[in-house]
Each structure stands twice: as structure tokens, then as C-alpha cells.
Structure 1
Amino acid sequence: MGSGRGYQGGKATTSGCYQIDVRKLQRAGALTASASFGWHWSRNGESVASIRARAGGDRVTLSYSHKSSGGDWQAMDYPVRLEWTDCTLGGRRAWFLCPANGCGRRVALLYLGSAGIFACRHCYRLAYACQRETADNRAMRRADNIRERLGWQAGIANPSGGKPKGMHWRTFERLTAEHDAFVGVSLAGMAARLNLMERRLDGMGAALYPEG
């Protein structure tokens, strides 16, 4: 697999990296002693990367091949220690301890970055994509989340659908009102950006083609 990183504002984001989630592994029962499992990433229904892993005691050992830009493929095989904490309502929760040198942070997610190992977002200085969202982009994302919950087609430009079977009318009316409010914010933001772009283009035209 490649290092596959996404960028926003010149800084890599978590959404652009391959990641492994210890919570999913625990729910799948993959952290039991001597368990062996695979982790796959897909795009458009096709597998684009995968790793093999095996659990044992207080650690999970990751095995995969990594290739940085312009470099050769390297076989990677190293352990990631686990730590367990008690949950308030009973049971235990698993955590990764970041394997990067000098770190050891307790985290739920590890990301593959340029160093070729899975480490925490602090080590790779990754930003969350939502931290870089504009207000209208955030409103669009929230509107799409509501559309997904209602079973409507994704995309605020698409028509609204009906009430899902089994949903109370009061819930449906609240969600549609929130959806419409988010759509309004998103469209207003896009209109403002387009207006600003037009003003900039007009200014450039005036500079390039002065009257007279």
C-alpha cells in the first residue's frame, strides 16, 4: 500500500490516510489471544489495500508491505501494544498504544503516514477534515447526514423524499426543518463565494484591459 495522504490547507488530514480502529477489532472479536485477521480498504467496491494482523496477549502484530513515493517496497512487521480500561457500565475497552518512538499515547485510531508505520494523528500532525470546513460546507455535510437518516438521495441539489416508514411525524418534521435550515446556510455560503469570485474576476479584467 502507498502512504495515501489527503491535504487541506497544506496540512494532511485523517480522512486522507489509511486507518485501523481498535473499537472495530474489539467488536469483531479479533483481539482474543491467537486470533488472526485481515483489514481491507476499498474504493468503489474494489479492494485498494490490506494488511494482516495477529493478536496475542497485550499486543497486535501488523504485517504488510509499504511503499513511499519513489521508493521500494518494504516488508513491515511490528507489534502495537494494547491497553484495557474498565467501562462505567461493565466490561472493558481496548486501546492502542501508539508504536511511534517516544509516543505511546492511548488512542482508538492509528493512521498510516509517510514514516510507513501506523501511528496516532498527533505523531503525524494530522488535522480532522471537519476542522477545516467552512460554515457552508459543514451545513452541507449535516444536511446530507439528515438525508441519509431519512433515506433520501444524497446531495442537497436532489429533491426531498417522503417520511420513512415507522418514523414519527414529529421526528420527521423536526429533521426536515433542520435539513432545510442547513441547506439554506449552505446555499447562502456558496452564493457569497461565487459573488466574491465574480468581483475578483471583474477586478482582474479591469486591470488587464483598462478602458481607453
Structure 2
Amino acid sequence: MGGYGSGRRSGKSTTDDMLALDVRRLQRDGMLTPGRASSRSWSRRGTEVATIQVRAAADRVTLDYRSRSNGGDWQQVEYPVYLEWTACNLGGRRAWFLCPTKGCGRRVAILFGSSVFACRHCHKLAYQCQRETDGGRAMGRADNIRRRLGWPAGIANPLGGKPKGMHWRTYTTLLSQYHTFASASWEDTAQRLGLMRQRLGSVHDALKGEG
């Protein structure tokens, strides 16, 4: 995968830190058709950062890409990922990946890439939302509402008006939700700043006592 794997973040990674290979998208794009060879690429900030070749068979896909670790030499990597198919309630079939990590084999919709594409559990990944505080989640929801209303992101920015064509009932509902989330975020920030001041005060008192 061109450009991927040259560096890693410290600490436990989240699913947002990794390249995600979604079997549902491959199926939707016809990339699981037996005999088909195709490619999947990823971009960040408008720049392509990685590409992988996918060759499909009836019971598997073969992944073919280049990878490197910690700035080392690029290595060609190729291995199969087996598929499992389940029936859908309204007809048709749905594909699943079977995690290729030895001893795993979990049935998953998404594999996450490093030197090897594997399930979230094998990479020990947390979801980004699991790292967020209640205030952080509230801020994210407030920003989602701001985007829906066409306002600039950031709860510190002033409120905008009702978007053209939006019903007043929808607007007032979103505005009420926005105030709830924004208030929760501000309260969380104030609490964290209060705790920080408390800790700084304790350190100051301890240093003063030593003097």
C-alpha cells in the first residue's frame, strides 16, 4: 500500500487511525464477482495514501499490496481472505470477511489495515467514540446540527438562521437539540477546567509548603 505503514501513532489506535476495507462496499461495487481483479484506494485530505489490489474467487478474495514498518523497506504482501455468505431477509446474499489472523476467523464486515488487514479485535482497536468524553460527544452532535443548518462548525461561533426551504417545525426542533448539546459541552468544559485549576492549586500549595 503506497505510503501506508511508514509511521505509527503512539498509544492505542482507534478505528479512525486505520485503513478500512469494507466487504459491503466491495460487494456493492461488484468487486466480489469471481474472476474479477480490481483495486481499492484511500485518500486523505484529497491525496491518495494507499492502494490495494483485490482478486475475487467464489469463496475468497486475495489481497495484494506493498507495506512497510517504521520506515523500513517496502515488502510485497499477498494473502487470501475467505468469505462467508448469509441469506438476507428480503432475498439475495450478504458477504462477510473471515478475519485472516491465525486463530481468529471472526465473521466481520470490515477489516482494518496495517501490515496485515485484520478485524478490530486482532488489532486491539477502540472506536473513536469510546475515547470521547460526554462533553466531546455532545460537541460532536452540536456540530452535526450546525452542519445540517448550514452554520460554521464550532459552538463558540454565533448562531445562524433557518436554512431556506426548511420547515419551521424542523428548525425549532433542531435548534432545541442544539442548545441542549451545546450546553452539555460547555458544562463539561467548565468542569474539566475547574478540576484542572484544583490540581494546579494543589501543586502550588505543595511547592509552597516545600519552600
Distance 1:127 1:46 in 2: 26
> Counterparts of 1:167 and 1:4 in 2: how far apart (Å)?
46
The equivalent of 1:95 in structure 2 is: 96
The 1:94/1:162 distance shift into structure 2, 3 A limit, reads farther
Q: 1:94 corresponds to which letter in structure 2?
A: A
- Matched length: 208
CA distance in 2, matches of 1:150, 1:79: 45
Contact 2:21 2:111 in 1 (8 A): yes
Q: Which amino acid aligns with 2:131?
A: R
Mapped partners of 2:180, 2:130: distance in 1:
21
Could you give the per-residue CA deviations for residues 12-42 of structure 1, whole angstroms, max 9, x where no partner exists?
Answer: 2211111111112222222222223222222
Note if contact 1:4-1:18 (Cα within 8 Å) is conserved in structure 2: no
Q: Which residue of 2 aligns with 1:61?
A: 62
Deviation at 1:70, TM superposition (A): 5.1
Query: 2:123 maps to what in 1?
Result: 124
Q: Deviations over 1:83-135 (max 9, x none)?
A: 2212212222211111111111110110124xx21000111221112122211
Tell me which of 2, 6, 13 is aligned to 2:5: 2
Q: Say whether residues 1:26 and 2:30 are aligned partners.
A: no
Say whether the 8 Å CA contact 2:8–2:70 is kept in structure 1.
no
Summarize the Cα distance change of 1:122–1:196 in structure 2 as closer, same or farther, 3 Å threshold. same
- Structure 1 residues 163 and 22, CA, compared in 2 at 3 Å: closer, same or farther? farther
CA distance in 2, matches of 1:73, 1:125: 24
Aligned equivalents of 1:166, 1:22: Cα separation in 2 = 37
Which ranges in structure 2 are unaligned for 5 or more consecutive residues? Answer: none
The answer (yes or no) to whether the contact 1:5–1:13 under 8 Å persists in 2 is no
Which residue does 1:135 correspond to in 2?
Answer: 134
Distance, in Å, in 2 between the alignment partners of 1:118 and 1:112 is: 4
Q: Is the 8 A contact 2:99 2:111 kept in 1?
A: yes
Aligned to 2:177: 178
2:67–2:75 contact (8 Å) kept in structure 1: yes
**For the structure 1 residues 34 and 163, does the alpha-carbon distance in structure 2 shift closer, same or farther, using more than 3 Å as the test?**
farther
Q: Is the 8 A contact 2:38 2:55 kept in 1?
A: yes
Identity within the alignment, % = 59
Question: In the alignment, which residue of structure 2 is the partner of 1:36?
Answer: 37
Report the TM-score, using the length of structure 2 for normalisation: 0.88
Q: TM-score, normalised by structure 1?
A: 0.88
**Counterpart in the other structure of 1:50:** 51
Q: 1:173, CA displacement in angstroms?
A: 1.3
Q: CA separation in 2, counterparts of 1:206 and 1:106?
A: 55
Give the whole-Å Cα distance in 2 for the aligned partners of 1:82 and 1:92: 12
CA contact (8 A) 1:3 1:112 kept: no
1:107 alignment counterpart: 108
Secondary structure at the residue paired with 1:49? strand
Deviation at 1:5, TM superposition (A): 5.1
SS of 2:13's equivalent in the other structure is: strand
Structure 1 residue ranges, 4+ long, deviating more than 6 angstroms after superposition: none
Cα pair 1:54 1:61 within 8 Å, conserved: yes
Mapping 1:129-208, distance limit 5 Å: 129-208=128-207
SS in 2 for 1:12: coil
Structure 1 unaligned residues grouped into runs of 5+: none
